[in-house]
Amino acid sequence: MVNAHDLLWGMTPAHVPADAPAWVLDVISAGHPVVVRRAIAEPGHVAVGVRGRLREQRFAAVMPVTAVRRRVVPEALCGVISPRDLPALRALDQLRPVLAKENWGVTGSAGFELASGIEVLHAQSDLDLILRTPQRLDRGDAEDLLAILDTAVCVVDMQLQTLFGAVALREWAGPSRRVLLKTSGGAHLVLDPWQAVA
């Protein structure tokens, strides 16, 4: 079973729709991984996103599960050390000890680069992290964690992955009663991200 933010290798140009931009074919032909996205796909398929060199180059597609040759999960990237010196990677070094006892992983550009070796990070890149939280995280604890993340040398965006979807730590630590829970069926404003959406 694959989860949002997993990186998958094995997609080929044959899996790309005919109306896809040329850059999508270039990226797939080069053997770049695709990232699992939160969306419902037909049985036997997985919803994925293709990323290009530019921030605006993002393309939604589906990939047959049988085509998957390799899978890297965000948790597998926690200990990967990069030789590059960039704020997002320095922030990751800084936060590893803080998160050592947690079930967490690296996503976004940093995760993509650490998993693939393809240089996509730049000096202004944020660090995207995911924290697996099957049990409810108290909002006070969320505030404390956010305060630590905000001491990092770049902006850190952490998603809390519950059994029912994902919510931004920054939102859960904030004052709003309702928060946005991202699920494979769409986004929902909820009071409690640890409860199934009605």
Q: Confirm if 125 and 111 have CB atoms less than 8 A apart.
A: no
User: Which one of 93, 128, 138, 144 is the catalytic residue?
Assistant: 128
Q: Residue 149 and residue 144: Cα distance in Å, rounded? A: 9
3-class state of residue 114 by DSSP: helix
* Burial group, residue 4, by CB count within 10 angstroms (0-12, 13-18, 19+): buried
Nearest to 112 by CA among 96, 125, 95: 125
Tokens matching residue 167 = 């919510």
Q: Confirm if 45 and 62 have CB atoms less than 8 A apart.
A: yes
To the nearest 10°, the Cα dihedral for 11, 122, 184, 41?
Answer: -10
Q: Is 93 a catalytic residue?
A: no
Q: Which residue has the tokens 């040759």?
A: 69
Q: Is 144 a catalytic residue?
A: no
User: Which one of 26, 85, 126, 138 is the catalytic residue?
Assistant: 126
Could you give the residue numbers annotated as active site? 126, 128
